[in-house]
Chains A and B, each alone.
Chain A
Amino acid sequence: MYAFEFERPKTVEDAVAALKSDEAQALGGGQTLIPTLKSRLAAPAKLVSLQGIDTMKFVKAEGGVLSVGGGTPHAVVAAEAAKSYPGLAALAGNIGDPSVRNKGTVGGSLANNDPSACYPSAALASGATIVTDHREIAADDFFDGLFTTALEEGEIITEVRFPIPEAANYQKFEQPASRFALVGVFVAKFSDGVRVAVTGASGDGVFRWTEAEEALSKSFTPEALKELTVDDSDMIEDLHGSAAYRAHLVKVMTGRAVAAAG
């Protein structure tokens, strides 16, 4: 770790102001950022912790929408969304280990947009709205490829609004070492159609599998996927699996998510 300054503001406004200084960076739960600092892969001059901002920590379900504060840890989502949006709660409850879930936040996860992270698939499949300190961004416009998002420098995710589907399920096939998603598929069925978002598989990060969405919108059954194939040309190929394997898993996990969502 290199030396850095540290601030812990109590309001979003103060955090935005603090982030204006040179090479300042927001710190959420630190589950990604702290290891990065420790291995000296990042050297911010100042860390602005968002953990002191109480207005960014909440879970509430209202009018068919689950709103989660950007600073809410995974464990809190897992517990408090269990009734209102069980598919999302289950996803949050299966991220990392207890210490990761007690510290890591939904805002941090979405802002980081790790190609193997779980939350981006939930946001994209739910058609979530990402609320920041000064605007609202649709999930479809938010994810911009590996570790890249529509967020501007110093912009803070204060809230994420997930429309609650009629049925939903997340299937995560774990990478054996990291236990992030080797392939993760979030399926969400709304009255006006089905959305399917895939994480872990593509070299471009989370994406929607539109062919599956069309087929499942007609018939929400695993059999509806039967004739579909997943193109493996953009899939990640690494020591944990080939592109063909990942493409195959996308279909298998989608089928399982549909079956589990019922």
Chain B
Amino acid sequence: MPKDGQIGPATKRREDVRFLTGKGRYTDDINLRGQAHAYFLRSQVAHGKINGIDTAAAAAMPGVIRIFTGKDFEGIGGLPCGWQVTDKHGKPMLEPGHPVLAQGKVRHVGDPIAVVVAETEAQARDAAEAIEVDLEELPAVMDMKAAVQGGTLVHDDIGSNLCYDWGFVEENKAAVDEAFAKAHHVTTLELVNQRLVANPMEPRVAVGDYDQTMDHHTLYTTSQNPHVIRLLMGAFVLGIPEHKLRVVAPDVGGGFGSKIFHYAEEAFVTFAAKAINRPVKWTSSRSEAFMSDAHGRDHVSKIELALDAEGHFQALRTETYANMGAYLSTFAPSVPTWLHGTLMAGNYKTPLIYVNVKAVFTNTVPVDAYRGAGRPEATYQLERVVDKAAREMGIDPIELRRKNFVTEFPYATPVAVEYDTGDYVATMDKLEEMADIKGFPARLEASKKKGKLRGLGINCYIEACGIAPSHLVGQLGARAGLYESATVRVNATGSISVMTGSHSHGQGHETAFPQVVADMIGIDASQIEIVHGDTANTPMGMGTYGSRSLAVGGSAIVRATNKIISKAKKIAAHLLEASEGDIELKDGKFSVAGTDKSVDWAGVTLAAYVPHNYPLESLEPGLEETAFYDPANFTYPSGAYACEVEVDPETGKVTIESFAAADDFGNIVNPMIVDGQVHGGIGQGIGQALLENTVYDENGQLLSASYMDYAMPRANDVPFYKVDHSCQTPCTHNPLGVKGCGEAGAIGTPPAVVNAVLDALNRAGHDVAHIDMPMSPARVWAAMQK
């Protein structure tokens, strides 16, 4: 049995002490001497031409230090896009400019027009109200299908609202079409994966600081990846070399993807701090977050599944319109393509697949990765169409899935990726047991007696995590590598600081990463601290998203720790006057095999820094190693979920009665943290399935712009989950055999819930093929009236 604090046990999260007692140090807690405050004047119209901005009256208001407009940023780079997609004709995507402050035109409600920097935030806001903007409103481009037909352009200079028209795999198209023509049965489904707002508990904040004597900038920001921000902002926007720019992302209160991207506000405060030679702070309000944080999802899709008479999948064809919003956010183009098309095989051995994605500019907030990013959209389409096919063909939905499972690994899908391991039969077996599928008829009866409609929804998912092999994503258009880094610094007394490029914003790295190192060396986890979130004291790393921290960042830590162990063995060999090959490390002790000679961990680490008795001729003093790890493949977590709902036939209200998740995450370092990650993901998935919706009107006004209208899931919207991760097929290509668990819940849940509601309605005699999310009471009721 491994000890608490090593790999395996449910070690309590050490960071929770400060989070739960209000002692976390978030960006908004940072207040610098002489700090000024920035207030962004944002567009209230979706689309308009700026004929002039008069700041004279505002500039004379109390406390105003300086007012910035687009003019101040002329000649300065725009916000870069980190991924270039090539369309089906081999042409690069259309890539419009993304200015820090609007240049001549505003393109969505919330687009920043000007910024007032003043002594206090209230003064800045007062002055912003006095800025006169001569704005000529233009028609808003809202409907994606209409937008690609011509008419008003979001960006005049690129000549089209169609960012790219992507075909994947284009060479397969003819074969796919042929399979459809010959199919015994074709199931077709049109659906919307609605736009979501991530809504992390902590809104975004940025503080810029500038040291004139050193010509050095510091940006404190709510980011999931401070090194990425330093690179993007320094190299592409402001032209500041790395050694003159430090980016710090301290405690961050949730990100869910929305804090990956480089935002205008970060570039602004960094720029303005130098311009006025004072620190500049910006804190987003919740209302501002709704119209300036990148949104998620927003796909309109048609999916078709061809089956033979026994229900074997023959071919799959999809067409998706993916909303990019008004500008290309940092990773936006990759989400509907490489994180979506490549997952379309799901858990099934469908031999022929063709995916078409049209990415479209509209006058809305930019859309980018949100927990799951592309994979929830793929899973939702696939699992909905499989469920519909089961109903149409009269086959049990579990049986239909089992019939088509991939069972042999490695498995090369027709959509470019190769699954290394998995056991979809095992997770389905586990699920059937956990969810007591056999007992469903009795529960159905019990619900009927209460006057409720009961339904059972099943879902399987596969995801590509541990993002990502740099060589692969490079071929796919990524403008960055996606390795991770770690420096393991062993101190003289044996304590260890691990500097990681991963970033924890709720995931529990400060607990889980020490478990890995403690396990490898055999010392107590309390001896190990994790340092992250500051470019000044961590090696260049790519940050945290795509369920990559343990799989990629943890692997870098393993590599660096292995280097430490190998050097420590050399030191021990010297101290014990033995040959290096005879040294064994166990429970923090180095011993000579077959003897009782040993030296403990602290004896070795002290010798490294107090090298009185040390092999100086063959070994440098000190004990510090850095490693970079670039994965050979994605990891492929998978699972099977079951949801049971009750529907109130009079009101359409759905309640979730039970939810079971059987996941395969490979090896598990800390099962409690994994449970928490799955719980949170399921909560967000239920939020998407039943509650959350971002609604614009036809003029581009955001109707769901606050919690009065945007429904977040709350504790009493969710049941007590049953989660299990005992099915483990370890990843074959990373040293920990781990796969990643951060997004699974958000990917696997929505189709399970939607399938359950439709099952309930159809069992009760309502012939309802589909209801778009969120399945609000009003929508479910309306569907029952037909």
Contact = CB atoms under 8 A, between A and B. Distances in A.
A100 B777 CA distance: 25
Interface in A215-262: 239-242, 245, 248-249, 252
Contacts of B651: 173, 249, 252
Kindly state the interface size class of chain A when it binds its partner.
10 to 19
Q: Is the interface of B mostly helix, strand, loop or mixed?
A: loop
A1 B778 CA distance: 36
B703 A239 contact: yes
B778 A242 contact: yes
B69 interface: no
Contact of B778 (A39, A178, A241): A241
Contacts of B782: 242, 245
B598 to A, nearest CB: 60
B708 interface: yes
A172 B713 CA distance: 19
B778 A245 contact: yes
B132 interface: no
Contacts of B762: none
Interface in A158-189: 173, 176-178, 182
A240 B709 contact: yes
Contacts of A249: 651
Given A39-B287, A177-B711, A178-B709, A239 B693 contact: yes
Contacts of B653: 173
A13 B475 CA distance: 78
B196 interface: no
Contacts of A182: 777
B781 A248 contact: yes
Contact of B709 (A177, A242, A252): A177
A94 B258 CA distance: 34
Contact of B708 (A178, A242, A245, A248): A178
B781 A176 contact: no
B710 A177 contact: yes
Q: Is the interface of A mostly helix, strand, loop or mixed?
A: loop
A2 B129 CA distance: 12
A156 B709 CA distance: 31
B596 interface: no
Interface string B688-716: 00110101000000011001111110000
B776 interface: yes
Contacts of A39: 287
B276 interface: no
B171 interface: no
Interface in B102-161: 122, 125-126
A252 B707 CA distance: 27
A177 B707 contact: yes
Contacts of A2: 126
B693 A178 contact: no
Contacts of B29: none
Contact of A239 (B122, B704, B707, B712): B704
B650 interface: yes
The CB with the most chain A CB atoms within 10 A, among B122, B703, B708, is that of: B708
Interface in B337-368: none
Contacts of A177: 691, 704, 707-712
A235 to B, nearest CB: 12
A176 B122 contact: no
Interface string B752-780: 00000000000000000000001011100
Contacts of A241: 776-778
Interface in B647-668: 650-651, 653
A247 B510 CA distance: 54
A241 B712 CA distance: 17
A157 B125 CA distance: 35
Contacts of B650: 252
A182 B704 CA distance: 16
Nearest to B653: A173
Nearest to B704: A239
Contacts of B709: 177-178, 239-240
Interface of A: 1-3, 39-40, 173, 176-178, 182, 239-242, 245, 248-249, 252
16 contacts: A39-B287, A173-B651, A173-B653, A176-B690, A176-B691, A176-B776, A177-B709, A177-B710, A177-B712, A178-B709, A239-B703, A239-B709, A240-B778, A241-B776, A252-B650, A252-B651
Given A2-B126, A39-B287, A173-B651, 6 more contacts: A176-B691, A176-B774, A239-B695, A239-B703, A240-B778, A249-B651
